[in-house]
Amino acid sequence: MLGLALPAGLEPQTPAVIAPEIRKTAEALREKAFAGSQAARWVEELSDHVGPRLSGSPGDAAAVSWAVATLKARGFANVRAEKAVTHVWKRGIETGEITAPFAQHLVLTALGGSVPTPAEGLEAEIVELPSLAALEAPTVNVRGKIVFFDKKMERTGDGSGYGAAVDVRSHGAARAAKLGAVGVLIRSIATDHNRTPHTGGTDYEAGIAKIPAAALSVPDAELLERLVKEKKPVRVRFVLTCHDDPDAETANVVGEIPGRERPEEIVLLGAHLDSWDLATGAIDDGAGCGIVIEAARQIGQLPRRPRRTVRVVLFANEEHGQAGAKAYRQAHDSEIERHVAALEADSGTDAPTGFSWNAGPTAEPLIREIAAILAPVGAGEMIPRGSGGTDVAPLRQAGVPVFSVRQDSSRYFDYHHTANDTFDKIVPASLDRMVAAVSAFAYVAAEMPEPFEKIPAEARKKDEW
């Protein structure tokens, strides 16, 4: 056993909710994974053998094939690829430069879904703004100009800095276009200072002109910031040849460890199979795929499987449209009431820091005991009203209890959505801790005689970052 003391307040309650034999098996799963798991192996295969897997690309199709073959080879039952239809966007050429007051090269990358610039490029004076709200200031005129959103992201351990900054990426182009801007550049939503820009999706609005949008590397954004401070007009020219292709078929990949008594009741472990195209998607979300595959595989190796089915779902198209999440919800509508829990892993490779949950209030005593089981690997802090994750959001909205093993995110956004998201960033020992926590949780959820209480209606709405 790990032999670590439990944090104050996490000692098992009296009377215990979790029966001793269930607790013993959960702790054994935790210890086995902590001693070493194969999660990093699955990430390495996906990252190195498949590589980038933007939705609708050849890499996406290869990832589906890899996932089906991997789950079958590891003893999962009912393995299948469930169809989803995805938007297809291709990046193309992307270049940038400052043309005045001084000539300088810029390193940038198109935001996912961006429209292209004219073939000769887009050139205009920039207007630097710190936020979306600043667009509404009466003294701001962006008509005919390129809006430069210079919103800095704070490095935090819980990822909250991302949530505070990401709105300019998601909505900046649409909001600026409403006011007559011809293009948008953003400071990458990132915590690094490398010359590697961070992509990510941008959302346009119906009836509003679509304007080109790109992310600058942080050093290049700071160059623009310094030049603007000199009180001279700053002009930028950039070229994007990104474009849409017709929608294409992709798939969620599903595999199961069938329950021994109530196989129709589901504990879902999810991660997303797609990635952005700039790198091999090791931390986002190869790590999550490795964690949930390995956690379920270890449960499947138990001499006596749990009462309920543990279902792994590797979702399609999380990065730019969530087509996989929507398709899963539709395809499984008739059994949503039989989903007793859903957990998503999509926070990279670093160690667990807590355990978030969203379920009915009667679930709290059980969740407190689960947190106590997870505490020795670092996931004992209970965080109520968690969102669960993007891919399980449709399940949460239907009342399915959702859970998340929170991870240290302090370095995640150094690599997130960049060309640096490669396998060398993976920390196998931290993945083992994650597998330890996820497998122990999933076993308890699948084995308890009674399921968690459904999420109350008022707690089902989408949580904001």
Upstream peptide bond of 138 is cis (omega within 30 degrees of 0): no
Label residue 282 left, alpha or beta by phi (over 0 means left) and psi (-120 to 50 means alpha): alpha
Spatial strand order of the sheet with 402-407 comes to: 77-90, 243-257, 308-315, 262-272, 339-344, 402-407, 352-358, 382-384
> Which entry of 44, 128, 318, 319 is annotated as an active-site residue?
318
CA triple 301-305-307, angle to 5 deg: 155
Distances (CA, A) of 264 to 61, 202, 301, 338, 340: 29, 38, 20, 7, 10
Q: Reduce the DSSP state of residue 246 to 3 states and report it.
A: strand
Let me know if 94 is a catalytic residue.
no
Residue position matching structure tokens 């294409």: 248
350 preceded by a cis bond (ω within 30 of 0): no
Instruction: Report the candidate in 245, 214, 390 with the shortest Cα–Cα distance to residue 319.
Output: 390
Cα distances (Å, whole numbers) of residue 419 to 13, 131, 415: 47, 26, 8
Tokens found for residue 193:
């200072």
- Sheet containing strand 213-216, edge to edge, reads 104-106, 94-100, 235-240, 122-129, 146-149, 183-187, 213-216, 108-110
* HSE value, Cβ hemisphere, 13 Å, CA-based, for 380: 17
Q: What share of the chain is helix, strand, coil (3-state, %, to 5)?
A: 35, 25, 40
- Contacts of range 119-125, beta carbons closer than 8 Å, 24 or more positions apart: 119/241, 120/239, 121/95, 121/237, 121/238, 121/239, 122/146, 122/182, 122/183, 122/212, 122/237, 122/238, 122/239, 123/99, 123/235, 123/236, 123/237, 124/182, 124/183, 124/235, 124/236, 125/233, 125/234, 125/235
Return the active site residues: 318
